[in-house]
Structure 1
Amino acid sequence: MVDKPLDLTEAISLYLDLKPLEAVDLEVAASMAIQWSKAAKAAGRAIEPEYDYRLTLIAAKPGSSKWLAAIERSPINQAALRVKRGWERVPLILRWSIALVVVIPATAVPTWEYWVGDESFSETQVNQIDQAVKKAITDSDVQNHKKSMFRDAQKDGNIKGVGGGVPNSQDWKPKNLVPSNQFAEADGLFEVQEEAKERRISRVIDVILVSPDLENAHKTWVFKQDGIPGQIRAIMKDDAFLVALENRSVQEDFRTEIPMTIRLETTEKRIDGKWKVKRKGRVVTEVISPVAG
């Protein structure tokens, strides 16, 4: 039986260069792939903050030396539209930008063109990639996931190099790789950054609405979680949901004690070595359920 050719029209790749006749430890490879995926999504958000991104596995080469994933995007705060239309493809130039950012060093030399290899881009495309890479290369989330990925790479001596890009064939391999002697942070692969003093955490949670502020909808709404003591007070920032609520197009008779699924963003500040939620630091960025429209 002949294997069906892989669809690479949405793909980006993480490539591990291994010693001859050797394979990489599965836990190491899987952990690297997870951090690579998280870095790719963070890079996409840094370049296009108006979009959410997701990666889905297409294939992993035997020996775990190459991971292929489809990367897709969807507008933030458009949950209903996402259900209707699904996720959309990411343009080629943006895929190249993301694939480069999650692997190449943050230092200026060599430039990103060195890592692309023999790819042919127009002057306009070169400028587009250059601007996108500059937006994402120093993003703190991207950097943190990259650091974790390269720390994992140091755990397996069979990994000689790490690379990435946009594959154009099933036997694709990046022209240039980050060699194993540059995996360690001490070798200057990454710029030294100060310890973060503030961070943002975004998560999707199921809640029960205690009290909405319908007269001044952008003010604080109060929620609780089933079985968890206490309340969550958060500013409602999903404008599309508020418009739908005003137009009475939310599929729910709005009242208290409504089950909801929300994307909650929490801003925390480091105080005396501990993370504490900032004043007005909780924001609802998206109401996933009930559905508007």
Structure 2
Amino acid sequence: MEETISLYLELKPGQKADFEVVGLAAAAFSEAVKEIAYVLDPGLDVRLEFESGTEGSLSLNAVLKVLKTRDGQRGTLLGIVIGTSIAFVGDIRQWGSTRLLDYYFPKEERLQLDSAEIDRIASACKKVTEGKIASEPIKRVYKQLDRDDVITSVGTITAPNTKPPAPVPRSEFQIRAGLIPPVETSPKSRTARSTERLTLISPVLLHVHRVWRFISPFGEFSYLMEDEKFLDDLLTGKRRLTMKEGIQITAKIETDEVFEGGVWTPKQRHITKVVKIHKSPGRPDLFSQPVKRRSRKKKND
């Protein structure tokens, strides 16, 4: 079992990076990856092998190889990649663990992770951004890269011939290296908008904005129901919601997030519009009465 994560260095056109700088930065990068791996799974035996580097933009391809395979290690490998990548993202506030998972890996692969694995990855990312994991080797990467003016930005990629989602520009190298203090310029809160397919757990059938409980692709959460037309149609009988197991809706979601501890943390989820109620065939109405079968009369001989 293996996964690839590459340290991607953008260079000035027609120039090459300093060999010593790249070598020392690669060594520090390797140490950071190993420390993040140890935190996610202390028993994980990981070997990093730098496969190749290319000119123009320099990509140092580190192959994470699990030497002893056991259950749950696929999620751990993804966690190592995301936990490392978040240290090399330009605007951390725009790139949380979930968004990085969506960027680097296919949706089908992410959906195979259970809620505990996703929480573990998010926790590791938060600790990396707070400087609680791999802080020193990450600082050394930036300190080395700052020595070479040819390097204009740095990021991470997981596939060849691609570019990082939001590379860290050279202007931030000294800040990330801890050589100068950061300057606060970004907002502390934001609203993220999405469309999600949700499975209903518990509704509140009242003419008020109350919290409904759903299972989403990212786990089980509470959502404030704010679609007044949907709620009114439901309570007046214009729209029927048959009480069956596994009721699903597609809805437009607004999530209030606050930037704390170096990551965007969801505080309140709102359903602003119910787009569709999906049918759930083959499952009985929980409140329906059993249908009596008519007995067949025997014909007289």
* TM-score, normalising length: structure 1: 0.49
Larger radius of gyration: 2
